[in-house]
Structures are given as C-alpha cells and as structure tokens.
Structure 1
Amino acid sequence: MNENVRLTAWVRGHVQGVGFRWFTRENALRIGALAGFASNLSDGRVQVVAEGPREGCELLLDWLRAGDTPGRVEGVTEIWGDPRGGYDGFEIR
C-alpha cells in the first residue's frame, strides 16, 4: 500500500545561493505526484516539505541525501507525518 504522507526535511550544508531549491523542485516534479515547497531558512538550511505517495517522498529524500545536489549537503534531518494539503504543486519559497 502506497499511502500519502508528509515529509519535512531540513537540509544543512552549503545549500543556499547555489540553485538547491530549484533543483529540489525539478526533482519533485520529475518524481511526480508530489506537492509542497522548498524554502531557505535564516540559519542557512533549506526546508523541504513534500506531500504525496510515500514512495515518491522517499525518492526525493534519497536524492537530497545522495550528494548529487547543487552545493554541498552535510546532513538531512527528516520527520514523517500525515498530509495536511493546501499545496498547489511544488513551489520555491
């Protein structure tokens, strides 16, 4: 069963000013069926929220951790939850 979930991930490292949010959005759209956003935080991290099928969220999380991202990812912390809805596609904030 591939239930819908909410993934919230905080990505730390050199991830601002390098196109990280844009590439995150592109990967979310490539995976398909994901809605949410990628947003810069004031402490230098990027927050990624994705809702959709668990398999798609796991693929996005794997990409965030794979090192095939712009900049340099030093670590990713994530939490899982129930989807809240209210997103129109996947956007950059």
Structure 2
Amino acid sequence: KGGVRNLSDGRVEAVFEGEKERVEELIEFCHHGPPPAKVSSVKVTWEECTGEFKDFFIRYR
C-alpha cells in the first residue's frame, strides 16, 4: 500500500507500507524503474507504518 508521485523538480516520491520483504522488492525496483526511466539515485528512509493507506496510488504531474 502507498503510492508514487512525480514532483515538479523531476524527482519521484514513493511511500510504501506492508510486509518488509514486499517493501524491499519495491525499493529494488525503484533502483531501475520502468523503461525508459533513468534513475540516478534512490534515497530510502524507514519509518513506522501509519496505516493511512488503503490502496496504492500513482499521481502524474
């Protein structure tokens, strides 16, 4: 659960909640991204789950 959104400066922000193994899989995907994405860096910050997400969202700018 969580989501991703494009920021106005070209970065992408993602927030994931769930089982640690699944979140780690999503983080690994972020290091490559979908074609034709060009990922230059990934910053990961671990926090406690808040339970605020009921599904997964994608927001484009």
| Bin for the TM-score computed over the shorter chain | 0.7 to 0.9
1:69 aligns with 2:34: yes
Conserved 8 A contact 2:17-2:23: yes
Q: Which runs of 5+ in 2 are unaligned?
A: none
The structural deviation recorded for 1:69 is 2.0
Which residues of structure 1 form unaligned runs of 5+? 1-34
TM-score for both structures, normalised by structure 2: 0.84
Report runs of 4+ in structure 1 exceeding 6 Å deviation: none
Give the structure-1-normalised TM-score: 0.58
Q: How many residues are treated as equivalent by the alignment?
A: 58
Identity score, percent:
38
Provide the aligned C-alpha RMSD in A: 1.2
**1-structure distance, mates of 2:20, 2:33:** 21
